[in-house]
Amino acid sequence: MLRYIARRLILAIPVLFGISILAFMIISLAPGDFIDNFRMNPSISREKIESLEREFGFDKPVIVQYFLWLGQVLRGNFGYSFSYHVPVFSLIWGRLGATLLLSITALIFSWGIAIPLGIYSALHQYSFSDQAFSFIAFIGISIPNFFFALLWLFMAARTGWFPIGGIISLDFHELSFFGKIGDYLWHVVGPMVTLGTAGLAGLMRQMRGQLLDQLRQDYVLFARAKGMPEKVVIYKHALRNAINPIVTFFGFALSGLLGGAVLTETVFNWPGMGRLVIDALQQQDLFLVMASLLLSSLLLIVGNLSADLLLAWVDPRIRYRFG
Amino acid sequence: MKKLLLVMLVALVAVAAMAQVEPEYRIDPYEGKPGGTLFLGSIGTGPRTFNPFVAQETSSTDITDLMHQSMFNSDNTGMPTIPALATEWWFSEDGRTVYFRVRQGLKWSDGHPFTIEDVRWTFEDLYFVNEFTRNGNATYKDAQGFLPEVEVDGNVISFTWTEPNVWSFRAIGWGQIMPKHVLDEYVQAGNPIEAWTLADWDKIVGMGPFMIESFTEGVRTVMRKNPHYWIFDEAGNRLPYLERINYEVVGSQDVLLLKFEAGEIDIMGPRAADWPRIVEQAEEKGWVYGVGGPGLGSDFITFNLGHPDPVKRSWFRNVHFRRAIQYMMDKESIIDTLFNGLGTAIYGPVSPSSGFFNPEILEAFPYRYSITRARLELRRGGFDWDAQGRLIDSDGNRVEFDLSTNAGNITRETIAAILVDGAAKLGMKINYAPADFNLLVGKLLTPDYDAILIGLTGSVDPGSGWNVWRIDGGLHSFNYPPEYNPDVIDPDIYEAFDWEKRIHEIFVRSVGEVDEQARWDLFAEFQMIVAEYQPYVYTITQNYLYVHKDSVHLANPHPNPAAGTLWQIHGIWKD
């Protein structure tokens, strides 16, 4: 098992390498660079622009820029953000907590609701409650996130039940330890529901469809004919087969943990990575974009790996060759 | 003997008292109540740096501006008339030297004494070194490219150029003075740009009214009054009145408005689109609202006068063509569509809000929206219409060109759309395609474009536009000389126009013009030339809008784009 994991991780290195070349080239080939905002400033002279180009290394060919960057990365230095003047990872770490808090709670929210509802709908196909759940879930998927977020904030402003965006209250530093946790949770509800409802419908329909497929299989008919209790038929046999694609889905969900919530973050003033990275992209803050891309790629790789391992655990038919 | 001792003692005390400099505090005529917290919102992702000579965007400078002070401040028309760290300033007879008398006996926010050496060091060792600041040292150089000689004599510091240099004098007066005792180690190490990043928020020392008390990246910045601030009110209260300022990071205007409506924010600058909603609620909620003058910046259309295609070049160089564009723009309907009527049509590079605005251009060149006038101008320029009503030039070529602006800027996209509409009425075909900002900048600065709709930050003093208007300026984008980019601009094609040379001359001369009225006259002439020749076709600007709770008492009686709601923030107080 460990050998299998090790092999997958070693294989990930060339993948990351390839991603870094592609990403670096595409960003560099895109028109303009970080200095464009300086170029449009009426009070900055051409000499200064040229000295900035040298300072940021834009006067060198892209290939040279890439290898200079790569050399630094291999030594553990991911470079400075052009606009913040601090090492990129100190920025990313600062925002990682908020991002993970939001994406993990949203993940728990949507999976915690979608899976049971999907199972329930499959078992009560075409009943009133099945239709009702589907209807609600589709409302969730069809309202754009930013609009849902604004509606939520409007509700929060009118009722005062929830904060109008943000991650902590004004008096956060005076709160007790549990008070602080409560404060975080109180603030996370809005963005969590916004994000969670968007993913709900797809997952629920997937679960429902998979389970219905399995319930129509001969082995289910056979098990029922044999007189096996209905609960065992469904939960021990059908569900276990139905959950397979959902687990793969989960691996993908892991990779989306870091960057999947830009609009929601913006509307809710959530100080997460999404906004940081979008800003960096617009400004062409090269090293910051590269670092976040690499981190997201790493998560995708880890997500896929853990999905595969989960599959092996869920489905005894799957055996990885560990050699 | 005893008497002698006594006399000596008295003499000693007197000498000691004389050595102790009486602090030269400034007394302002505010009558407020100390205490309270002001809640403000900052749109975007919050500050990116606390280094004032690195910061570029307002989310950072909003904060750094509160922590630092300069030798003079602007009055509420944006003119540099209020003494700050300098008590007075004057020019020498020949105009080459400017003197500042610096206040004595003041203290930095950390209690360290503030001296004239800090002022000298700030300029000579920091701002005059091109690599040490993000904006470079160009604004401090005279027309010959020389930096000034700096001399300190007692409490007077002087700067001497090879020729009179008003522009740099202003830049020095506006320059925020930095603490030598804190930043000198960075200067010695050659990397002041790395000082005062976000992580150093608690290490900042300044002469400004507020310093950072706590900072949470991406969430908020809490500022607390500087205990050593050097401005007092007449009742003897050390200003600022406010105990704290809470700058909350807000993702968008929509959320800022919601927060303001919920009472979480005290002052905001609303969008024109939200104005009716504000006015409607104002009485019930006790808000004070107002409209200042037109904004300082404006969007304009620039045509590539050095276009490689001779046909297009001949249109763009034709002054009647450019005037026709000015006439065909239905600015009132743009203002109604975009700004609920809360905007102003702009006809030149200087905003009517600026003290330098020359109102005569409106009478001399009344460019009111008129398709008839536009047709007339086109006819004068040798254009005609074919049987299908399409506009053709004197050689029979159909008039058709590309227009671009940066995608995502709703104001510019709307202006472009209305422009295309107006052109269609004249039988002119504009192919409009918005582009990514970086792509657009690249095209503008190559130059490689037909026409671009873009804007630049404006300021009260037209002198700040030197980089745009001087022929050798980096942003002289309508007609770059061949030396700018020899690969693209063919010297055989290039032509410098007389009016263009005159503008260049005005900008060069205005730098050395010490006399205020003469300088004003120069810029008045400049505006006249621009109105006549329309090198840039100016469009519209939004008026300055503000609203605040009635519990907040602003120091500025009439907030406007040159001096906003937070002008002289140390005089703002809350009930």
Average the pLDDT over B193-216 and give the result.
93
| 8 Å CB contact of A165 and B261 | no
Residue in A267, A270, A284 closest to B438 by CB: A284
Q: In 3-state terms, what secondary structure has residue B77?
A: coil
Read off the pLDDT of residues B255-278 as tens digits, 9 standing for 90 and up.
899 999 999 999 999 999 899 999
Read off the pLDDT of residues A231-254 as tens digits, 9 standing for 90 and up.
888 888 888 888 888 888 887 777
Read off the pLDDT of residues B471-499 as tens digits, 9 standing for 90 and up.
988 899 899 999 888 888 888 889 999 99
Read off the pLDDT of residues B2-34 as tens digits, 9 standing for 90 and up.
666 666 666 555 555 555 678 999 999 999 999
| 8 Å CB contact of A271 and B467 | no
Read off the pLDDT of residues B381-391 as tens digits, 9 standing for 90 and up.
999 999 999 99
Spatial contact of A240 and A217, defined as CB atoms under 8 Å apart: no
pLDDT on residue A323: 42
Q: How confident is the model at residue B516 (pLDDT cuts 50, 70, 90)?
A: confident
Spatial contact of B361 and B348, defined as CB atoms under 8 Å apart: yes
Tokens of B55: 């910061």
Residues of A in contact with B437 (CB under 8 A): 32, 36, 282
Spatial contact of B197 and B95, defined as CB atoms under 8 Å apart: no
pLDDT at B559 over 90: yes
pLDDT on residue B231: 95
| Measured distance CA(B206)–CA(B414) in Å, rounded | 43
Read off the pLDDT of residues A181-230 as tens digits, 9 standing for 90 and up.
888 889 999 999 888 888 888 888 888 988 998 888 888 888 888 888 88
pLDDT on residue B489: 87
Residue in A31, A39, A98 closest to B436 by CB: A31
Contacts 24+ apart (CB under 8 A), B183-186: B183/B126, B184/B121, B184/B125
Domains of chain B: 69-203 (3.90.76.10), 298-542 (3.10.105.10)
| Measured distance CA(B73)–CA(A59) in Å, rounded | 39
Q: In 3-state terms, what secondary structure has residue B67?
A: helix
Q: How confident is the model at residue A320 (pLDDT cuts 50, 70, 90)?
A: low
| 8 Å CB contact of B254 and A267 | yes
Query: Of chain B residues 250-309, which have a CB less than 8 A from chain A?
Result: 250-252, 254-255, 258-259, 261-262, 264
Chain B: residue whose CA lies nearest to A267:
B251
Residues of B in contact with A41 (CB under 8 A): 56, 135, 457, 467
Q: How far is A44 from chain B (nearest CA, A)?
A: 5
Poorest-pLDDT segment among A42-46, B153-157, B393-397: A42-46
Cα B53 to Cα A54, A75, B126, B163, B575: the distances in Å are: 19, 31, 10, 27, 35
Chain A: residue whose CA lies nearest to B42:
A269
Q: How far is B207 from chain A (nearest CA, A)?
A: 24
| 8 Å CB contact of A269 and B130 | no
Q: How far is B356 from chain A (nearest CA, A)?
A: 18
pLDDT on residue B125: 95
Read off the pLDDT of residues A4-27 as tens digits, 9 standing for 90 and up.
888 888 888 999 999 999 999 988
Radius of gyration of chain A (CA): 24
Instruction: Give the other-Cβ count within 10 Å of A110's Cβ.
Output: 24
pLDDT at A321 over 80: no
Domains of chain A: 95-314 (1.10.3720.10)
Contact B474/A at CB under 8 A: yes
Average the pLDDT over B90-100 and give the result.
93
Q: Kindly write down the DSSP assignment for every residue of B457-510, as one continuous string.
A: ---SSGGGGHHHHSTT-TT-TTS--TTT-TTT--TTT----HHHHHHHHHHHHH
pLDDT on residue B99: 96
| Measured distance CA(A92)–CA(A94) in Å, rounded | 5
Residue (of B188, B220, B232, B227) closest to B205 by Cα position: B227
pLDDT on residue B138: 87
| 8 Å CB contact of A164 and B258 | yes
| 8 Å CB contact of B218 and A36 | no
pLDDT on residue A18: 92
Read off the pLDDT of residues A51-60 as tens digits, 9 standing for 90 and up.
888 888 888 8
Cα B524 to Cα B350, B358, B482, B498: the distances in Å are: 9, 5, 29, 17
| 8 Å CB contact of A40 and B456 | yes
Average the pLDDT over B206-215 and give the result.
96
Give the mean pLDDT of chain A.
85
Distance separating the N- and C-terminal Cα atoms of chain B: 62
| Measured distance CA(B279)–CA(A182) in Å, rounded | 37
Tokens of B14: 């007197």
pLDDT on residue B15: 53
| 8 Å CB contact of A85 and B135 | no
Residues of A in contact with B49 (CB under 8 A): 83-85
Residues of A in contact with B244 (CB under 8 A): none
ipTM: 0.81
| Measured distance CA(A271)–CA(A166) in Å, rounded | 8
Percentage of residues of chain A with pLDDT beyond 90: 5
Q: In 3-state terms, what secondary structure has residue B210?
A: strand
Phi, psi of B366 (to 5 degrees): -80, 90
Read off the pLDDT of residues B496-509 as tens digits, 9 standing for 90 and up.
999 999 999 999 88
| 8 Å CB contact of A42 and B439 | no
| 8 Å CB contact of B259 and A164 | yes
| Measured distance CA(A289)–CA(A270) in Å, rounded | 19
Q: How far is A101 from chain B (nearest CA, A)?
A: 15
pLDDT at B1 over 70: no
Read off the pLDDT of residues A102-133 as tens digits, 9 standing for 90 and up.
988 988 998 898 889 998 888 888 889 888 98
pLDDT at A322 over 60: no
Chain A: residue whose CA lies nearest to B445:
A39
Residues of B in contact with A42 (CB under 8 A): 456-457, 464-468, 475
Residue (of A176, A137, A14, A49) closest to B138 by Cα position: A49
Inter-chain Cβ pairs, chain A and chain B, closer than 8 A: 150
Residues of A in contact with B468 (CB under 8 A): 42
Poorest-pLDDT segment among A30-44, B213-227, B395-409, B494-508: A30-44
Read off the pLDDT of residues B266-316 as tens digits, 9 standing for 90 and up.
999 999 989 999 999 999 999 999 998 899 988 999 999 999 999 999 999
Q: How far is A56 from chain B (nearest CA, A)?
A: 12
